[in-house]
Amino acid sequence: MNLSVLFLITDSTPLFFIMERFLPPLLLLFFLLPALFLGCSADHRISERDNHNRMIAILDSIVDEARINPLKYFYANEFRLAYLDSLVAANPDAPQLLYNYAIEFQNSKELEKSVPILLELAEYMTDPVSRRMTSEALAISYLRMAEVNNCFENYTPANCILPFDEQAIHQNKEYVQLAMGYLRYLLENHPGNYTYNWMYNIAHIANGTYPDSMYAAYIIPGMQDFEEIPDYLQAPMFGDVGMKKGVGDNRISGSSCVEDFTGNGHLDIFATSYGLTDQVVFYEGVGGGEFETRTFAAGLEGIMGGLNIECADINNTGFADILILRGAWLAQHGEHPNSLLRNNGDGTFTDITIQSGLFEMMPSQVAAFADINQNGYLDIFIGNESVSGWQGVFVQGDDQSKPFPSAIFLNNGDETFTRHETLNGFALDDFVKGASWGDINNNGLPDLYVSVMGGSNKLFAHRGFDENGLPKFEEISRIAGVEQPQFSFPTWFFDFNNNGLDDILVITYDVRFIDNVADEVARERLGMDVRSEFSRLYKNMGDETFRDITEEVGLNKVMFGMGSNFGDLNNNGYP
């Protein structure tokens, strides 16, 4: 429809003539324009909803593939159990198959079903190697069953936190004492195994008999003692009230973000879990420390998974949006999409990943936000898990050297991003496990520190802008002295000494000893040498170099860090 009208108007044209000629088309325009805009807005909302649903369909397709090939996903216990059900039915007397079946139950929510299988195996698998396998598995199953039962039957805010408070001592001691029996047998037959030693001490602590009722040779001293910390550094004790408040999200590894997502003045909780079928959850704060589950009302049904999330306001609406990272630790089997959930400001979220330019199928767990091109909108670094011998530490893949380069996504200011795999000195094709933006030289421009698994960490210093306004970077990790450790995970910038300069903490997760974590911790407690790397605290020297002061501040300890954060816990003014 063409609404253009041409009239020649002079200062002598009668008013009634103007009204007669102009008013009808103006009125028509008045009514049609809102309709046209509303139509465009409705089309936009339909398109957004279509893309939201497309993401759900993609996530569903990944689940379908995992049902068919469950061995590719080390945490897909439910699917692997279904797969093993048929194998066990066809081969009921195959010892190794039955053992694998029991271990799968042990790692699932049907933990208790592992015990009768293992007990039956122990009756006729009596050779030393098999006896050790079944005894170890039974010790783990009983110890886990003891903890699970204690959490529900004897729930207190002190449960499962070392050192044990008296409230946390198990009231029902049946399972923990069964575990103690198997662990004592294992220690007697395999002296010097510090994993068994650690578990045996944990069992006695849970039983309330550490250390008085223990054989002296098996005691790891100090496990119920707080370290000697000066009074001025003492932090308050925290109790777990998650179950009491209805936010005890009891699944596998995941992430959470606490923000006032709804703008009602109360903090809300958004949480994810790593499982492919694990629904994200949204708890709305309603005041008084209480929460209501609003997941489906928030439009989140079908948004699954995510080992990590990051929250930031990507469109300057004043409401925090959410970025879910997926595919971590799975090598090429982790070619899963991330999700950018836009906060609509009304208590609902929309997955805008596809139209935002963030859609890509790569294994990732890492993202960090900063306005790196200084246009007033937050940009994103997404770290992917690329070429590495450690890429498949938890999964056996066909190709452990497939590249998944990391990228910087520049915010275009309209809820879309432009991807830059290389950008004026920035390029990164490593197994990335942590990232943080900071300002190492106080020039007002964000610098990027990246934690790499199985390689040197990276520091990209922001060097201003090119003629097109794009940021320039220089990788200076070696010169700055911040490459270590070689097996690191979480990291962040913070001014730990309040001198106005950003320092760096990077925490180790030495996957070379992933099967010996308890062994390493026990060795340290016993004053023995340990093999895993230490974390690093790097003090900013003010000249774009850093000094490793880890040992000076007492952080040279065994750490296998994943989820972590920092804050001023004792209100002394220092993080």
Poorest-pLDDT segment among 27-36, 80-89, 287-296, 315-324: 27-36
- In the predicted structure, residue 511 carries a pLDDT above the cut 60: yes
Tell me the domain boundaries of the chain.
67-207, 250-483
Helices (H) and strands (E) in the chain, counts: 10, 22
Torsion of CA 489, 494, 497, 501, to 10 degrees: 120
250-483, CATH topology level? Neuraminidase (2.120.10)
Confidence label for 155 from pLDDT (cuts 50, 70 and 90): confident
- In the predicted structure, residue 44 carries a pLDDT above the cut 70: no
According to DSSP H, which parts of 6-155 are helical?
15-68, 77-90, 95-106, 114-124, 128-153
- In the predicted structure, residue 7 carries a pLDDT above the cut 80: no
- Burial track 261-277 (b if 16+ CB lie within 10 A, e otherwise): bbeeebebbbbbbbbbb
C-beta separation of 537 from 503 below 8 A: yes
DSSP letter assigned to residue 442:
S
Q: Tell which wins on pLDDT, 521 or 16.
A: 521
Judging by beta carbons within 10 Å of its beta carbon (0-12, 13-18, 19+), is residue 9 exposed, middle or buried? exposed
- In the predicted structure, residue 462 carries a pLDDT above the cut 50: yes
Q: Tell which wins on pLDDT, 164 or 446.
A: 446
Confidence label for 371 from pLDDT (cuts 50, 70 and 90): very high
Structure tokens at 342: 């836009």
- In the predicted structure, residue 24 carries a pLDDT above the cut 80: no
Q: Write out pLDDT tens, residues 339-368.
A: 999 999 999 999 999 999 999 999 999 999
pLDDT of the residue at 415: 98
CB atoms closer than 10 angstroms to residue 139: 24
Find the mean pLDDT for residues 232-248.
Answer: 83
Confidence label for 406 from pLDDT (cuts 50, 70 and 90): very high
Which 3 state secondary structure label does DSSP give 43? helix
CB atoms closer than 10 angstroms to residue 135: 20
Give DSSP secondary structure letters for 69-94. Answer: SGGG-TT-HHHHHHHHHHHHHH-TT-
- CATH 1.25.40 corresponds to the domain 67-207: yes
Pairing relation of β-strands 458-465 and 471-475?
antiparallel
Work out the mean pLDDT of the chain and round it to a whole number.
90
Q: Which residues contact 21 (CB under 8 A, 6 or more apart)?
A: 5, 7
Q: Write out pLDDT tens, residues 282-329.
A: 999 999 999 999 999 999 999 999 999 999 999 999 999 999 999 999
Confidence label for 250 from pLDDT (cuts 50, 70 and 90): confident
For the chain, report the end-to-end CA distance as a whole number of angstroms: 65
C-beta separation of 270 from 309 below 8 A: yes
Poorest-pLDDT segment among 128-132, 202-206, 246-250, 525-529: 246-250
- In the predicted structure, residue 279 carries a pLDDT above the cut 90: yes
Give the Cα separation of 355 and 457 in Å (integer): 32
Backbone angles phi, psi at 24, to 5 degrees: -60, -50
Give the Cα separation of 527 and 143 in Å (integer): 26
- In the predicted structure, residue 241 carries a pLDDT above the cut 80: yes
pLDDT of the residue at 41: 53
Neighbouring-strand partners of residue 380: 369, 409
Residue linked to tokens 């989140």: 300
- In the predicted structure, residue 573 carries a pLDDT above the cut 70: yes
The reply to whether 67-207 and 250-483 are identical in fold is no
Find the mean pLDDT for residues 128-133.
Answer: 96
pTM for this prediction: 0.90
CB atoms closer than 10 angstroms to residue 414: 9
Q: For residue 327, which of 315, 314, 338 has the smallest C-alpha distance?
A: 338
Q: Which residues contact 85 (CB under 8 A, 6 or more apart)?
A: none
pLDDT of the residue at 391: 59
- In the predicted structure, residue 11 carries a pLDDT above the cut 70: no
Find the mean pLDDT for residues 140-163.
Answer: 90
- Burial track 166-191 (b if 16+ CB lie within 10 A, e otherwise): eebbbeebebbbbbbebbbbbbeeee
According to DSSP H, which parts of 307-432 are helical?
353-356
- In the predicted structure, residue 19 carries a pLDDT above the cut 50: no
Find the mean pLDDT for residues 69-78.
Answer: 90
pLDDT of the residue at 233: 66
Please report, rounded to a whole number, the percentage of residues in the chain having pLDDT higher than 70. 88
According to DSSP H, which parts of 295-359 are helical?
353-356
Which 3 state secondary structure label does DSSP give 488? strand
Poorest-pLDDT segment among 31-35, 48-52, 408-412: 31-35
pLDDT of the residue at 5: 36
Poorest-pLDDT segment among 78-87, 246-255, 305-314, 454-463: 246-255
Poorest-pLDDT segment among 136-145, 384-393, 498-507: 384-393
Alpha-carbon radius of gyration of the chain: 29
- In the predicted structure, residue 393 carries a pLDDT above the cut 90: no
